[in-house]
Structure 1
């Protein structure tokens, strides 16, 4: 058996050991379902906040003090105007009240109700309406002014019913919208960042645990340290693939459970290269990002032997990831800028930025160059990480770090 095949077999043995030791444990199930727990807590908080907001919105009213004929014009203008407004930013419900002997005092009483929030009240003639409002910058007051203008115009023109009857026809776009592409690019960067942050950072804790219970010394005595390093990297990558496959399957089927409007919104987030190609590129860039960061985490994590050292190492690594995330997210929003070019070339931000580029631009040839460039850096990072790993395992209590030892001189 050749030396290459021996090291490959030893590497896969270590990978299988780490994969089985990680997956076949009760804690892995908790880890696998952790995003669902976080999403559930977030959904509960969101529903609670929404319920509180809706309970306040349900008690909001804006009033128009006017005769029934004029009130009908206001209601017609209100119905027509609301169809063009964002459902999430609709003004309060409009109510028309018949004026009494003193409309001004009546408006003050309506504005000061204690069982309802009344941001604005309108009374007076249509050519000179008087609007009372409590907020210095009141959108509701401006809305009532707009309704008064429309009601006055309809009254002068004698319009009592709609005079236009539009015919709506939906036409499918050949390509996604610019906003949809930018949103898809942002989602790609966020998804890659979240996956690498959750999965690759486990290497630091795993290494410290095995060093503390002397398992790493047993492995180092049985097989070459390079095989241990590569085996751990491959094993962790297998765990990451299982995690992504589980959640990818769930997310891919979420669309069937969503309302038609939400499903149509998701359909508008079409990446520029097409969904199948984008999914393939996303998988490749995830592998590159994971192997890059996983090799760095394994190499640096091998230098830590106590929980305190793990914390000290985790902070700069997390800050570095946050920097790559911020750079790539900025590049996703400015696809043709120098920041985007820099993010696509810099090795540790390149997978994130290129995933965003796949959502923003349809050209495929830059991705072949980027994948080759990233694979070169993966090989270089694994080589350097293996040397750091060897030094951390064999010389953790020996002499101080020297670059000549890292380079094998």
Structure 2
């Protein structure tokens, strides 16, 4: 059978599967699944944030200091809080209380106050204070220690610390790059991006083959065309669905990015060693390779599963394998020239993830050519092995043993 005929048969099956999947009402639910899941996540996040905000509104750090030191504490607190950004967790609001002579007993009693929830309480002399803190209050206790040092310095200088007029001058890196740290962040984004897309899309392949096996459709297809064409066609058909999904959401994200403020868009921009156009092409290529590799492996699993229950039982091992490949790729990205990095790039299931990260950190292009050829080899091996395994194990056709076991001896005629 020629390669052209195999591809023609595979594309016919791919067109059939693509049409049967896309032109159905249920596909709209699949297409908008990220929006639905994001909405549920946003609702849950808003609920958790409201609970956290309500608790943070009542949280306080308390300083038991004499009235002359209260002003220094408040000035230092206002100056230090200006260092925190809005998106950073700030220490709880400061409350100053005059000492009543009970020392640490007064500090302990403030943890039972009804007006607020004390996270940490400072008591004693400023040069050797005692700081009591409750659960999750160690950071607040450290902050109170810094305030005590500032207040003590202000007292020795006559009541307040000198103000320093700082002149801030932004400096851009040569070439406009973000350096090694920016490349590593882009590499992590690439690895996670390829992983999340395949986690959501490649697993869909498992159910397609199992469903048609239960409906006896696969036997009809196998009688008409070779199983290799069936496997490749189904893989290409579901890949077409994945491309439609990715293209739809990529367009929406691109439109949303165009309306962002310039400073926000600049902060979110990727910094890659190969340049953004080449990185985008390599990212799509490695997403394709990861989908074909994982999809062909999942296709074999779905072909061998005889019921939806078996598919559900196989979902956990499939997810574990995907998480293991993510961990291996991230470890390889952190140590690209070590043994873990080479293992991540050479192991077929993790190779697309690791090489997508390498595209962000390394400018050389020849390793990507070799990696893509290596991954295509494994795709063909997975499809060929899956088709033969399905033919012998499920359709129960073909030779019962591989050829290397030898042929059975031919019986000699009786004389």
TM-score by length of 2: 0.84
Tell me, in whole angstroms, the C-alpha distance in 1 between the residues paired with 2:214 and 2:136.
64
Q: Secondary structure at the match of 1:95?
A: strand
Q: How does 1:251-400 map to 2 (within 5 A)?
A: 251-256=253-258, 263=265, 265-267=267-269, 269-311=270-312, 313-391=314-392, 394-395=395-396
Matched, 1:215 2:217: yes
User: Cα–Cα, structure 1 residues 141 and 292, in superposed 2: closer, same or farther, change >3 Å?
Assistant: closer
Partner SS, residue 184 of structure 1: helix
- Equivalent in the alignment of 2:408: none
Residues 348, 130 of structure 1: alpha-carbon distance in 2 compared, 3 angstrom cutoff: closer
Counterpart of 1:84? 83
Distance 1:309 1:126, change over 3 A: closer
Contact 1:110 1:118 in 2 (8 A): yes
Aligned to 2:115, the other structure's residue is in SS state coil
In structure 2, do the counterparts of structure 1 residues 179 and 170 end up closer, same or farther at CA, with 3 Å as the change threshold?
Answer: same
What is the distance in 2 between the residues matched to 1:304 and 1:103? 73
Instruction: For residue 339 of structure 1, report the CA deviation from its aligned partner.
Output: 0.2
Q: For 1:100-119, list aligned pairs within 5 A.
A: 102=101, 104=103, 107=107, 109-119=109-119
Match in the other structure for 1:41: 40
- Which residue number in structure 2 is paired with residue 188 of structure 1? 190
d(CA) in 2 for partners of 1:80 and 1:272?
40
Match of 2:410 in 1: none
**3-state DSSP of counterpart to 2:304:** coil
State how far apart, in whole Å, the 1-side matches of 2:123 and 2:82 are: 24
Identify the residue that residue 25 of structure 1 maps to in structure 2. Answer: 24
Deviation (angstroms), 1:374: 1.6
Distance 1:334-1:84 versus aligned 2 partners, 3 A rule = farther
Runs of 4+ with deviation above 6 angstroms: none
Give the direction of change, closer, same or farther, for the CA distance of 1:226–1:131 in structure 2 (3 Å limit).
closer
Deviation at 1:31, TM superposition (A): 1.3
Residues matched between the structures, number:
403
Gapped regions of structure 2 (runs ≥ 5): 406-415
Q: What is the CA distance between 1:209 and its match in structure 2?
A: 1.1
Question: What is residue 237 of structure 1 aligned with on the other side?
Answer: 239
**Secondary structure class of the residue paired with 2:58:** coil
Which residues of 2 match residues 62-77 of structure 1 at below 5 A? 62-66=61-65, 69-77=68-76
Is residue 12 of structure 1 aligned with residue 11 of structure 2?
A: yes
Deviation (angstroms), 1:71: 2.0
**For residue 93 of structure 1, what is the aligned residue in structure 2?**
93
C-alpha contact (below 8 Å) 2:73/2:151 kept by paired residues: yes
Maintained 8 Å contact 1:343/1:353:
yes
The whole-number CA distance in structure 1 between the counterparts of 2:361 and 2:159 is 47
Taking the aligned partners of 2:31 and 2:333, their CA distance within structure 1 comes to 29
> How much is the aligned-residue C-alpha RMSD, in angstroms?
3.3
Contact 1:65 1:103 in 2 (8 A): no
Could you give the per-residue CA deviations for residues 248-295 of structure 1, whole angstroms, max 9, x where no partner exists?
22333444566777655423x523333222211111111111112222
